[in-house]
Structure formats: structure tokens, C-alpha cells
Structure 1
């Protein structure tokens, strides 16, 4: 099983993974100002969430940022899009200041089997 690591530079990309692979998504954010990443909608039944956390940057303090990290495991073959938006939850979707999207093509663990 492999691991795919994605960040802001991965936006717009199309990535191939295999059932059983781990996908780690890390995006910079500054929750002290209210700006947080929200996955929209939550990734489908093709990906199983394995946790999320925020890590403060190297210079913690008021107004400092860090990175939000999500981990998923590919559990079912098929195409899936992971979308996220950066904004203040109380301002609604239209007020997003940044968007992130990647496409994943999940293949069966055994390439001789097509489970789609």
C-alpha cells in the first residue's frame, strides 16, 4: 500500500491511487482569524476518513497560522473529487477566499480485477 501526499501545489491535479492507499491532504490556514478549510462535500464512500488535525506553525502566537491535515484511505475503486474551501463558516460559501480541488482515480488493489 502506498501513500499520496497532497498540498496547495497539488490543486487541479489528477492522481492515481490504489485501494488501500493512504491519501494525506495538508492545507495552510489561519483559524485564529476565522479562516478555516472545510471539505465540501465530505469525500464520498470511496474514501474512508482516518483523522484530521491542525498543527500550529513554527512561530505560535496570536494571529499565527499553521496547517490543517486530513488523512483518508482509498477503500473502493472509482473516480472521486476532493473539494475544499477556505473561509469563515459564518460568512457562507460565497465568501470563500480560496478553493482547492483534486481528482483521484482509485484502481483496484489487484489490477486484474475491475470492480467498477
Structure 2
């Protein structure tokens, strides 16, 4: 009987601690740029997905990866979810970052043709990141 009395408060304490943990992954898409500035907790993963069509010559280039607060978890991953196997179809470019160090930075990407160095990017994605 005393073991059960000890386990109940311990179980409730564990549930409360789990409820206060931040969501492990934060997903952000181009149309959600209004969520910026974005506040992350150290240890959270940020997944950024932007529409892309490399067959047109346009590519997203990371111009500032907020290295003072974020750590890249790998290279860009391109997928073509809508028309799999269809040549020239649009897809999605995805990056994963770890909120690594407390502080502030900007995650900035430009959508442009790499050889058009004197032309303004077709699109920009700019998000201020704050890690606590």
C-alpha cells in the first residue's frame, strides 16, 4: 500500500515534467514566414520546407544559416511529392537545423539562378531566429 502511495506522486511529477518540454520539431514553410521571428528552445529541430523547381534553373541558396544559433543537420533534400516521376514538375526543398546555442540570428535563403549573379533573387526567405 505504501508503494502505491509513493508511485502516484512520482508519476504525476513525471507527467508534469513531460508536459513542460517543448515540441521537439518545429516545421516552417514559405507561407508561414509570418511566424517569424521564431523562438526555439535549445535542442529543438527546425525543419524548413520551401517550394522548388530546379529544372527551371532556380535553386534555393542558404545565404545565412544563423550559425551563431543553428547547426545544420545535413544538406538540402529535394523531393517531388505531387507528380512523382514527372519531368519538370515542381517539388519541395527541405533543410533541417538544430537549435544549438542560445542567442539570435537570421536564417536567410534566396531563390535564384546561380549564374545570374547581378540579378535580384526571385524570392527570399528571411526569418529571425531566437534560441533560449
Question: Are 1:87 and 2:112 an aligned pair?
Answer: yes
Question: Are 1:104 and 2:129 an aligned pair?
Answer: yes
Alignment length (residue pairs):
107
Higher relative contact order (CA 8 A, sep 6+): 1
Deviation at 1:93, TM superposition (A): 5.9
Give every structure 1 segment of 4 or more consecutive aligned residues whose post-TM-superposition deviation is greater than 2 Å. none
Name the residue aligned to 1:19.
42
The 3-state SS of whatever aligns with 2:82 is coil
TM-score, reference length from structure 1: 0.84
Name the residue aligned to 2:8.
none
Higher helix share: 2
Q: Relative to 1, partners in 2 of residues 1:41 and 1:15: Cα closer, same or farther, differing over 3 Å?
A: closer
Q: Relative to 1, partners in 2 of residues 1:6 and 1:90: Cα closer, same or farther, differing over 3 Å?
A: same
TM-score, reference length from structure 2: 0.75
**Please, what is the CA RMSD of the aligned residues?**
1.5
Which consecutive unaligned segments of at least 5 residues does structure 2 have? 1-21
Question: Are 1:57 and 2:65 an aligned pair?
Answer: no
Is contact 2:52–2:93 with CA below 8 Å preserved after alignment? yes
Q: Which has the larger radius of gyration?
A: 2
Which consecutive unaligned segments of at least 5 residues does structure 1 have? 108-116
Q: For 2:118 and 2:125, locate their aligned partners in 1 and report how far apart those are by CA, in whole Å.
A: 13
Deviation at 1:82, TM superposition (A): 0.4
Q: For 1:75 and 1:69, locate their aligned partners in 2 and report how far apart those are by CA, in whole Å.
A: 19
